[in-house]
Amino acid sequence: MAMSAELGDRESEADRRSFQLYIDESGRIAMARGNTEAWLGLPMDALKGRSVAEFAADESQFAVSEILVQAALRELLPPAFYFMCDVATGAVNGFEVTGKPQGFNDQYRLSFVQDPQLVYAPKSKNTRTGFVDSVEKAISDAMAEDRDIDMTFLDIGDVEKLADLQGLDEEELRRFTDKVESRLKAESIGGEGLGRVEQGKYGLVHDRDRDIAALKDEIQTYARDIDPDGAALSVGSSTVMLDAQAMESGEIKTALSHAVDAFADTGIDAVIFETLADSQAAFVDLRHSRLALLEKSLQEDLLSSAFTPVADIARWSVHHLLAEFNVTLDDDGMGAGEILKLCEGDVAMRTRVDAAQCRKILTRDDLDEFSVAVDVAIRSLLDPEVVGMLLEFKHRAPHRDLTLRLSGLDQIPWDKVQTLEILRRAGFNIALSGRDVGAVTPDKLESLPADYILLDPNFVLDATQLKRSLPMLESMVKRCAEHKIAIVFEGVVDAEAARLLSKIDGALCTGPYFGPSIEDLNDLRLPRRNNG
């Protein structure tokens, strides 16, 4: 009897975590079954006529293309991992998805099973952006409830170094971090105000009357239990009052982003402000001084580049280089991430930066044997002077191989920019983000003005999920290669992900695993592959 009840519980849990969609070859839903309201935010009968792509998270949009291909060909979709959105709440969950054609009609059945082990997900609070969004919501709720809340940053130390020093395996390390995170979550508002913004660095939203000093001491005890000598772990904290009544919505977001970035990039010592208003003031002052430095760098032609490899992973060689523009001075400097943030909302400044970096790449003699990719805003290619400069250099040095990795296509659709075809005909390569391309049918893939499609890092962050998705990803790479489009897996951080991706012939990869940015091309870790 007990065994029967246990079996029933397991079946009930499986039913709760699953649903099925029956689609046509264009992805339109003809029928649905299962718990769609819990995971997609709509009851089964409300899904009819809508596209499956509407419910895919941005990061999985392009991967939906493989579903459409298999549905059109009426072939099996091997197990793959997709992120899907609850359209009612915006929540994102990971699902293992399989597909097969129905034998008695023209429909194609997709089966979704939610993965409870999902660690990283799009829009997760375990990212800087995700945590900022969650804090912003907590501030809004607190104002409505007339509730005093604070945000505490807590740094527990170098978790990766801990694993090396103490010889911990992955499971032991996870038990430790789970214990820390469970305790922090218990102190957070509603058990939901916790975010991991970097490895070992947490943001916590809590009521103002919480005893954070005692909490810090308790976490320090956990750290001593596993690292008695304090060789890797040392707990530090800093609290910011979230009083934002006099601040505009945009100011709140920038103040939060500044505080989180300062903590994540530099550590507890960088959190020198006591209130959100102080953080906003610090942000305004810093932005003013950094914009002045960027302006000086553009006027005096001080922009330079470092490079990271984009690897042909099956051959363990450099396929091409990704240029990361920066400013390096004797007493100061700024990286690509900071430069891009300074350019947000300033089309003219971003256009000047893009023109300067392309000019630098095209005129460097030591890059003759390499193909190089640069990040360029789509709006920069609407400037005739920028396009004219690119075409002029290509005419003078036709052997130079340059790829333009385009951003900002959420503002201007790629299919509306005629400049893309002009640049491609002139010999430039175009790289588009998978989330910008979206789900495409085979016919649309044929006409796509792209040579590379960049997949989101969420595909490779978890090795277990990657392994389960490998057959689908291999099919995607092969399918795109038939249209002379290469897939680039972004954000590879560990050896296991690299090993798995090396099984896919033609897959290109980039990320921290392949080494830090370099300025001297002789420092490349992988062997070079000449353009010819």
CATH number at residue 353: 3.20.20.450
Confidence class for position 421, pLDDT limits 50, 70, 90? confident
- The pLDDT of residue 117 is 63
Q: Report yes or no: 375 and 405 within 8 Å, Cβ to Cβ.
A: yes
Q: Is residue 491 part of a domain?
A: yes
Query: How confident is the model at residue 468, as a pLDDT?
Result: 85
Domain membership flag for residue 294: no
Please compute the mean of the pLDDT values over residues 480-507 and round it to a whole number. 93
* Per-residue pLDDT, 529: 64
**How much is the pLDDT for 118?**
59
Task: List the one residue out of 398, 395, 404, 357 whose CA is nearest residue 376.
Answer: 404
Residue 204 dihedral angles phi and psi, to the nearest 5°: -130, 125
Residue 379 CB contacts under 8 Å (≥ 6 apart), including other chains: 347, 350, 351, 408, 411, 412
Residue 81, in any domain of the structure: yes
Tell me: pLDDT of 416 over 80. Answer: no
Amino acid identity, position 3: M
**Which of the residue ranges 416-430, 476-490, 503-517 would you say has the lowest mean pLDDT?**
416-430
| pLDDT value at 120 more than 50 | no
Query: What is the CB neighbour count within 10 angstroms for residue 36?
Result: 23
Contact 83, 57 (CB under 8 A): yes
**What pLDDT shows up at residue 366?**
82
Within this chain, do residues 493 and 346 fall inside the same structural domain, yes or no? yes
Residue 149's domain spans which residues?
128-288
What's the alpha-carbon Rg for the chain, to the nearest Å?
25
Helix (H, G, I), strand (E, B) or coil at 138: helix
Q: Does residue 139 sit within a domain? A: yes
Dist. CA 507–CA 19, nearest whole Å: 32
Q: Buried b / exposed e across 120-146, counting CB within 10 Å, b at 16+? A: ebbbbbbbbebbbbbbbebbeebeeee
pLDDT score of 206 more than 90 = yes
Do residues 191 and 241 lie in contact, with contact meaning Cβ atoms separated by under 8 Å? no
| Residue 119 pLDDT > 50 | no
Longest dimension (CA), the chain: 82
Claim to verify: residue 281 and residue 323 sit in the same structural domain:
no
Of 257, 288, 319, at which residue does a domain stop?
A: 288
Statement: residue 185 has pLDDT above 60: yes
In a domain, 63, yes or no: yes
Residue 426 and residue 398 in contact, taking contact as beta carbons nearer than 8 Å:
no
Enter the pTM of the model.
0.77
**Residue 307, Cβ density class (10 Å: 0-12 exposed, 13-18 middle, ≥19 buried):** buried
Considering the domain architecture, whether residues 326 and 178 belong to the same structural domain is answered as: no
Average pLDDT over residues 332-358: 89
3-state class (DSSP) for residue 397:
coil
Directed axis angle between helix 249-266 and helix 128-145, to 10°? 140
Question: What single string gives the DSSP state of each residue in 455-470?
Answer: EPGGGTS-HHHHHHHH
- 104 and 143 part of one domain: no
Read off the pLDDT of residues 452-483 as tens digits, 9 standing for 90 and up.
999 988 888 778 888 888 999 999 999 999 99
Mean pLDDT over 72-98 rounds to 88
Regarding predicted confidence, which is higher, 295 or 5? 295
Flag whether 532 is in a domain.
Answer: no
pLDDT band at 6 (very low <50, low <70, confident <90, very high): very low
b/e per residue, 417-450, with b = 16+ CB within 10 A? Answer: bebbeebeeeebbbbbbbbbbbbbeeeebeebeb
Query: CA-to-CA distance for 309 and 41, rounded, in angstroms?
Result: 41
Phi/psi for 451 (5° steps) reads: -110, -20
pLDDT bracket for residue 88 (50, 70, 90): confident
Please check the confidence at residue 301 and state whether its pLDDT lies above 80.
Answer: yes
Which of 114, 140, 173 is the last residue in one of the domains? 114
Cα distance between residue 502 and residue 489, in whole Å:
11
Mean pLDDT of all residues in 506-527: 88
Q: What is the pLDDT of residues 136-179, one digit of tens each?
A: 989 999 999 999 999 999 999 998 788 777 777 777 888 898 89
Residue-level pLDDT at 54: 94
Highest mean pLDDT among 11-20, 131-140, 213-222, 297-306: 213-222
Which one, of 517, 477, 512, 479, lies nearest residue 498 by Cα?
512
Q: What is the model's pLDDT at position 219?
A: 96
Q: What is the mean pLDDT of the chain?
A: 87
Say if residue 423 is in the same domain as residue 519. yes
Residue 218 is part of a domain; what is its CATH number? 3.30.70
> Total structural domains in the chain?
3
105 with 225, same domain: the answer is no
Residues 249 and 274 in one domain: yes
Domain boundary, last residue among 83, 114, 145: 114
Q: Under a CB-based contact definition with an 8 Å cutoff, are residues 275 and 281 in contact?
A: no
Q: Please check whether residue 295 lies inside any domain of the structure.
A: no
**Does 298 have pLDDT greater than 90?**
yes
**At 406, is the pLDDT very low, low, confident or very high (cuts 50, 70, 90)?**
very high
> 329 and 253, same structural domain?
no
Do residues 265 and 243 both lie within one domain? Answer: yes
Tell me phi and psi for residue 380, to 5 degrees. -65, -30
pLDDT of residue 131 exceeding 70: yes
Q: What single-letter DSSP state applies at residue 104? A: S
Q: Are residues 337 and 237 in the same domain?
A: no
Looking up residue 9, the CATH number of its domain turns out to be: 3.30.450.20
Q: Is it the case that residue 135 has pLDDT exceeding 80?
A: yes
Structure tokens at 46: 């409300």
Q: Which residue has the higher pLDDT, 425 or 125?
A: 425
- Weakest mean pLDDT among 103-107, 191-195, 375-379: 191-195
Q: What is the structure's pLDDT at 503?
A: 95
pLDDT at 129: 81
Q: Which two tokens stand for residue 237?
A: 């904290």
pLDDT above 90 for 411:
no
Same domain, 103 and 15: yes
Q: Locate tokens 């920038």: which residue?
A: 254
β-partners of residue 486 are: 452
The residue-averaged pLDDT of 109-121 equals: 76
Is pLDDT at 531 greater than 80 in this prediction?
no
**pLDDT for residue 225 is more than 50:** yes
Q: Distance between CA atoms of 275 and 240, rounded to whole angstroms?
A: 5
Range among 89-103, 286-300, 389-403 rated most confident: 286-300
Contact 271, 240 (CB under 8 A): yes
pLDDT band at 524 (very low <50, low <70, confident <90, very high): confident
Contact present, 7 and 54 (Cβ < 8 Å): no
- Is 262's pLDDT higher than 80? yes
**Do the Cβ atoms of 414 and 405 come closer than 8 Å?**
no
When pLDDT is cut at 50, 70 and 90, the band that residue 7 belongs to is very low
- Reduced to 3 states (helix: H, G, I; strand: E, B; else coil), residue 75 is coil
In a domain, 25, yes or no: yes
Residue tagged 């009930």 (tokens):
12
Is 64 in the same domain as 148? no
Instruction: Give the pairing type, strands 486-489 and 452-455.
Output: parallel
Instruction: Give CA–CA dist 438/420, Å, rounded.
Output: 18
